[in-house]
Amino acid sequence: MSKKHSQFDVVVVGAGPAGYISAIRCAQLGFKTACVDNWGNKKGQNSLGGAHLNAGCVATIALLESSKIYHLMTHGINDHGIYAGNISLDIGKVIRRKDHIIETFAAKIADIFTHHNITYIHGKAKLLNDKHISVNSSEHPTSSILDAKNIILATGSSPIELPYAPIDGEFIIDTAMALNLETVPETLAIIGGGVIGLELGGIWNRFGAKTILLEAQENFLYLPDHQIASEAYRIFKNQGLDMRLGARVITAKAHDNKVTLCYQDQHGTHTLSVDKLIVASGRKPNTDNLAAPEANLLLDENDFIHVDENCRTNLPGVYAVGDSTVLGPMLAHKGIAEGIFVAEQIAGIHNPINYDALPSVIYTDPEIAWVGQTEQALRAIAEPIKVGVFPLNANLRVHATEPQNEGIIKIIAHAETDAILGVHIIGAHASEILAEAVLAMEFSASTEDLVQTIHSHPTLSETLYEAALALKNRALHLPL
C-alpha cells in the first residue's frame, strides 16, 4: 500500500504549550496547519497540552492548591476563628480533581483546533527532510507522509533517568508518576532539590509525608538571587522539609516494600530507608529518533536542537521552539513566545523576543519568581547598582489574607540610570506581582516610574511600589 501524502503550509510537531500555541497562531495568520503529537493520558486517550499540562506545571499547581487547603484546615484554620473536626484526606479524589482539570483544558485546546481548522494527527512524527514528515499512528497501519512548506519542531522534554536509581514505577518513580500517587507515603525522598524537586517536596510535605530532599549541589537554588534563595531555604526548612545539600546519591534499590538509598556528603556515607523515592534530576530534550539520519538535523552535544536567534534550524524552512532547543531555559511561556514568534516570522512579521525580560517562577508555597539579573551576577561584573528590599509582612493585604506572610521583594536598579535590572520575589502570589515588573522592564521603565505609578491600597502589588521606595530610602511602611 502506498503511503498517503497530505499537504500543509505548516506542520507543527508537538502539542505542548510551544507547539499548540504556534499551531493556533499559524492558523490565525491564514496558514493551512497540522499538529502532530503522540501524548496519551493515563486512560490511554489522546491528550493535547504535552507534558506541561498532563504531567508537569499545571498538574503541579492543581495538587499544590489542594495541599495548601488541606494544610490550612489541619494547621492554621483556627487562627480565623473557624473550627472543624474530623478533617480527612482522600488523596484519590485529589488526584481525580487534578485529572479533571487537565482533561477539561485538553478538550478546550481540541475545540480551539477545530475552530481554527487545524488538523490534529495523533502519532509519532519523524523529520525526513526540510519538506516532509512521516507519521506513524496506532490508528493507521501504514505511515503517512506530510508535505509542508514550513515545519516547527516543538517536541518538549522529559525527565532524566539515573542509572543508579532505576525507575520501577512503584517504589522508585519519576516526576510525572509523583503527580499520580494514590496514597500519601509515610516517608518520601527526592533526588534533586531544584525547581521540580522542591515543588513536589512542598506538595507531599503538606499532605503529611515526611519529605527529604537530597541535593548534590552545596548551594540551594543556584538560579534565583542568592538573598531570595537563602530566604527560601529558611522558610521551607521551617515548614518541615528536610533539605540535605551536598548529598550525592550513589545507589537506590527497592526491596521489602521500601527503598534503600546510599548517599555521600562531606560527613561521609549514609544510608536512608523510605517508602517512596522520586527522581527529580532535571529534564532532557525529546529529540531521540526525531529526525532521520539523512535529514542532517543539527543537534548539540546534549541533543538539543541547534537554532539561531530566530529559532531557525540548519534546515531551510524548519524551525524549533521550546524545551528542545538550545535557546533559553525550559519554561512554558518561553516556548509560547517562541511559537508565536516563529508563526509570525513565517508570515513575514518580525517581533523579536526579549529574553532579558523573561520571567521565571517556582510554584511552591510561598512562590518564588524573578526577572532580569541577580545581585551576585551584577556585582561580579562590577556593575554600579542600588538595591531596594521590602518584607512582605509589612504589607497590609498580606497580613489580612495570607496565612503565611513571610517573604521579600527585591528590586535591583542601575545606580546611575535608575533602569530596572532585576526583580526577585519570594512570597504569596509572587508570579502575579512579578508581571508588573516584567512589563516595566519591557518598556524600559525606571524605579522612579514605579514610584510614580499609583497602586491600589491595600493590595499585594503595593509591595513592588514599596520596594522601589525602599531603594530610595523612602519606604512608607518601614522604619528608616
Convert the pLDDT of each residue in 383-441 to its tens digit: 999 999 999 999 999 988 877 789 999 999 999 999 999 999 999 999 999 999 999 99
The Cα 21–Cα 179 span in angstroms is: 25
pTM for this one?
0.94
Q: What DSSP character marks residue 308?
A: -
Which stretches of 60-130 are assigned E, i.e. beta strand?
119-122, 124-127
Which stretches of 318-465 are assigned E, i.e. beta strand?
318-320, 360-362, 367-372, 385-391, 408-414, 420-427
Residues in the chain: 480
Q: Please tell me if the domain spanning 5-158+284-355 has the same topology as the one spanning 366-470.
A: no
Look up the CATH architecture of domain 5-158+284-355. 3-Layer(bba) Sandwich (3.50)
Across 198-229, b (16+ Cβ under 10 Å) vs e yields bbbbbbbbbbbbbbbbbbbeeebbeebbbbbb
CB 201 within 8 A of CB 261: no
The Cα 171–Cα 274 span in angstroms is: 9
* Burial (CB count within 10 angstroms: exposed 0-12, middle 13-18, buried 19+), residue 127: buried
pLDDT of amino acid 404: 75
pLDDT band at 141 (very low <50, low <70, confident <90, very high): low
Other Cβ atoms closer than 10 A to 458:
14
Which stretches of 196-314 are assigned E, i.e. beta strand?
210-215, 242-245, 248-255, 258-265, 268-274, 276-279, 283-285
CB 92 within 8 A of CB 107: no
State the cell numbers at 319: 524551525
The Cα 107–Cα 104 span in angstroms is: 5
By DSSP bridging, strand 157-159 and strand 124-127 are: unpaired
Task: Report in angstroms the alpha-carbon separations of 230 from 222, 242, 374, 417, 425.
Answer: 10, 15, 13, 29, 12
Please list the residues that pair with 279 across neighbouring strands: 174, 191
Domain layout of the chain by residue ranges: 5-158+284-355, 161-281, 366-470
Task: Report in angstroms the alpha-carbon separations of 12 from 23, 294, 358, 382, 449.
Answer: 6, 20, 24, 44, 41
The continuous run of DSSP H or E covering 451 comes out as helix 447-452
Tell me: the pLDDT tens digits for 185-215? 999 999 999 999 999 999 999 999 999 999 9
* Burial (CB count within 10 angstroms: exposed 0-12, middle 13-18, buried 19+), residue 83: exposed
Please tell me the class of the 161-281 domain.
alpha beta
**What is the distance, to the nearest Å, from the Cα of residue 26 to the centroid of all Cα atoms in its chain?**
24
pLDDT band at 182 (very low <50, low <70, confident <90, very high): very high
Mean pLDDT of the chain: 95
The Cα 32–Cα 116 span in angstroms is: 9
Across 344-369, average pLDDT: 96
Between residues 6 and 336, which one has the greater pLDDT? 336
Read off φ and ψ for residue 466, nearest 5 degrees. -65, -35
Catalytic residues: 457
The Cα 62–Cα 74 span in angstroms is: 19
State the cell numbers at 181: 500517587
Across 260-280, average pLDDT: 97
The Cα 188–Cα 207 span in angstroms is: 11
Look up the CATH architecture of domain 366-470. 2-Layer Sandwich (3.30)
Tell me: the pLDDT tens digits for 294-330? 999 999 999 999 999 999 999 999 999 999 999 989 9
Q: Above 80 in pLDDT, residue 1?
A: no
Read off φ and ψ for residue 240, nearest 5 degrees. 110, 0
Side chain identity, residue 228: I
CB 415 within 8 A of CB 391: no
pLDDT band at 139 (very low <50, low <70, confident <90, very high): low
Instruction: Kindly state the percentage of the chain with pLDDT values over 70.
Output: 98
The Cα 296–Cα 421 span in angstroms is: 40
